[in-house]
Amino acid sequence: MSKTNAGYFFEDYRVGQVIRHAVPRTVAEGERALYHMLYPARHALYSSDVFAADCGLESSPLDDLIAFHIVFGKTVPDVSLNAVANLGYAEGRWLAPVWPGDTLRSESEVIGLKQNSNGKSGVVYVRTTGLNQNDEPVLSYVRWVMVRKRDLDAPAPEMVVPELAKTVAAGDLTVPGGLDFTDYDFDLAGEPHRLGDYRVGEVIDHVDGVTIEEAEHMMATRLWQNTAKVHFDATHREDGKRLIYGGHVISMARALSFNGLANAQMIVALNGGAHANPCFAGDTVRAWSEVLDIAETDAPGVGAIRLRLVATKGAGEGLRGEDGKYLPHVLLDLDYWALMPV
């Protein structure tokens, strides 16, 4: 047993520690095709090299969530193996597009530690950076998770809780070099709505639903080399269910949001997010969005829209109950910035 990875426990982390995560990954056109097979993804910039070139890019980059899933997946053996809960995300910023042929790897720095009062676990804050083959960062985000202690007698570390921005400021968004929506083709993109057509507070029901199968969520999760056993092993939970990777729900909801947000092309920031309730095979996932903010950028014709993306299952309405807790039909509450033609 000594050769296998037992993962880090709470007392193994130190503030300032940098973990180089294993298994770099070259991504190419195969991953793009798979993304279109696993999700009803239709944003034109990620579907057509010609459309992307007409928007000033050299070709169509890989979906921003492919980058996220791959960078995230690499952290699982070092961050999530003994985690009991994924508590939150903040300060997520996409810093450069990922192109077919790029090789991604991940590094995480421990930026905070807080032992729980029960002495059995603690919260670990990490800032994870995805890097390409030129060591350029493509993505950076903070995540905090609750991790078990191996040795309950290990002393509590000094408490360090990082100050995290509630949202990424519009001025801190990175617009990919060359992006230009001046001659944007709304017909080919699928909808006529430009940034000016949306108003803060507007809610968009994305209408469509997708019933999820075991084979699909396992293949998606495996594709990102996320091997957390709770997603794959039906004998792991007492109820015999495989928990669906939260990122699968993110990608499904984002793809469904095409219907009403076809022009919210590029994801450039993740302000926060909660996996409100678990998702299982057989659930039918739907989504709605709320416009939270609208901003300008310096790139020609390019604006930014801040969106709340909520994924649900079943028939419930609303987001939170009177007690402030997420209602049981809510799967995901995500807050992100996307780029849209003005």
Q: Rule CB under 8 A: which of 117-136 touch its own copies? A: 133
Pick 182 or 284: Cβ nearer its own copies: 284
58 binds its own copies (CB under 8 A): no
Interaction with its own copies in 133-172: which residues (CB under 8 A)? 133
Residue 121 Cβ vs its own copies, minimum distance, rounded to whole Å: 22
User: Cα separation of 149 and 120, whole Å?
Assistant: 6
Task: Kindly tell me the burial class for residue 87, based on how many C-beta atoms sit within 10 Å of its own C-beta (0-12, 13-18, 19 or more).
Answer: middle
Nearest to 36 by CA among 44, 26, 28, 47: 47
Pairing mode, strands 83-94 and 137-148: antiparallel
Pick 101 or 177: Cβ nearer its own copies: 101
Among 137, 156, 194, 214, binds its own copies (CB under 8 A): 214
Assess contact for 112 and 290: CB atoms under 8 A: no
Residue 327 Cβ vs its own copies, minimum distance, rounded to whole Å: 18
39 binds its own copies (CB under 8 A): yes
Among 95, 174, 232, 319, binds its own copies (CB under 8 A): 232
Interaction with its own copies in 307-326: which residues (CB under 8 A)? none
Among 207, 300, 320, 328, binds its own copies (CB under 8 A): 207
274 binds its own copies (CB under 8 A): no
Pick 1 or 16: Cβ nearer its own copies: 1
Q: Which residues, 6+ apart, have CB-to-CB distance to 205 below 8 Å?
A: 260, 288
In one-letter notation, the amino acid at residue 124 is V
Pick 183 or 205: Cβ nearer its own copies: 205
Among 69, 93, 114, 193, binds its own copies (CB under 8 A): 193
Assess contact for 165 and 312: CB atoms under 8 A: no
User: Cα separation of 187 and 44, whole Å?
Assistant: 10
User: Cα separation of 36 and 291, whole Å?
Assistant: 26
SS3 label, residue 148: strand
Residue 104 Cβ vs its own copies, minimum distance, rounded to whole Å: 9
Among 69, 93, 105, 114, binds its own copies (CB under 8 A): 105
> Nearest 5°: CA angle at 162, between 334 and 120?
90
Pick 124 or 285: Cβ nearer its own copies: 285
97, two tokens: 């597009």
3 binds its own copies (CB under 8 A): yes
Radius of gyration in angstroms for the set of CA atoms belonging to the chain, rounded to a whole number: 20
38 binds its own copies (CB under 8 A): yes
Pick 216 or 335: Cβ nearer its own copies: 216
Interacting stretch for its own copies, rule CB under 8 A, among 25-33, 109-117, 304-312, 330-338?
25-33
**DSSP secondary structure of 260-289:** HHTT--EEEEEEEEEE-S---TT-EEEEEE
Residue 226 Cβ vs its own copies, minimum distance, rounded to whole Å: 9
Residue 196 Cβ vs its own copies, minimum distance, rounded to whole Å: 13
Give the binding-site size for its own copies (rule: CB under 8 A). Answer: 78
